[in-house]
Amino acid sequence: MNLDIYSELRKLAKSSKYQTIYGSEKPLGLRIFKNEYDFTDIQITFLGYLSFYNQLNIDIVMGDVDEMVLKDTIFEDSYIYYKTRNRKKQRKEDKKKQEQVKKENPKKGEPKVDMKSQWIFRKPKGFSRKPKG
């Protein structure tokens, strides 16, 4: 794929038409492509861009980033890069904190086992597979 096709793909993915279809795909069952599976490379790339712009629009609405971001593809890429890096850094820090808690208080760090979600198969008392007779 040449660069022109990528820029064209981005324009389409950013358009309100495709963003609406993407947002309504699950709740309303609208479909983006004619084919349901066996996606081509260009379709997979397009799905990636749809998700990219969906995230960007959410972040603008939430006030995480200025609307100016949509003025240039370099702004868009830079913001998403910054966000991804930040998230990775945050995860690392969280992991470090968790490990620290485990070291300081090993019992607290152990994962809890939720007994409610476990199925127990036990024969009821007096139950027998043999036919009565």
Partner 1 sequence: MEAKKVVPVVKEEVKEPIKEVVPEIPELTKEQQEVIDKETEQAKKLMNQDLTKVAIENNEYEFEVEGKKYKVVRPTTAQKQEAYTKKVTQYMKLLQMKDDNGNFIYYPDKKLREIYKERGIDVDEYDRKIEGLSNERNSYQEKLGKMLTDNPVETEVNILKEEIVKINDKVVEFTVARNSLLEYSLENQSIGFLYEYLTYAMTLVQNDKGEFVKCWNKFEDFKNADSLLTNSVGVYAGMMLGSMM
Interface residue list for partner 1 (CB under 8 A): 1, 5, 8-9, 12, 32-35, 38-46, 64-66, 68-69, 72, 74-75, 77-83, 85
Q: Which is nearer to partner 1, 23 or 47 (CB)?
A: 47
Q: Which is nearer to partner 1, 66 or 94 (CB)?
A: 66
Instruction: Count the alpha carbons within 13 Å of 129 in the hemisphere toward its beta carbon.
Output: 1
Q: How far is CA 46 from CA 30, 54, 121, in A?
A: 16, 12, 48
Q: Which is nearer to partner 1, 23 or 69 (CB)?
A: 69
Q: Which is nearer to partner 1, 32 or 101 (CB)?
A: 32
For the bound state, the minimum distance from the C-beta of residue 131 to partner 1, rounded and expressed in Å, comes to: 52
For the bound state, the minimum distance from the C-beta of residue 55 to partner 1, rounded and expressed in Å, comes to: 13
Planar angle of CA 19, 25, 30, nearest 5 degrees: 105
As a dihedral over the C-alpha atoms of residue 38, residue 41, residue 47, residue 48, rounded to 10 degrees, the angle is: 140
For the bound state, the minimum distance from the C-beta of residue 50 to partner 1, rounded and expressed in Å, comes to: 10
Burial (0-12, 13-18, 19+ Cβ within 10 Å), 50: buried
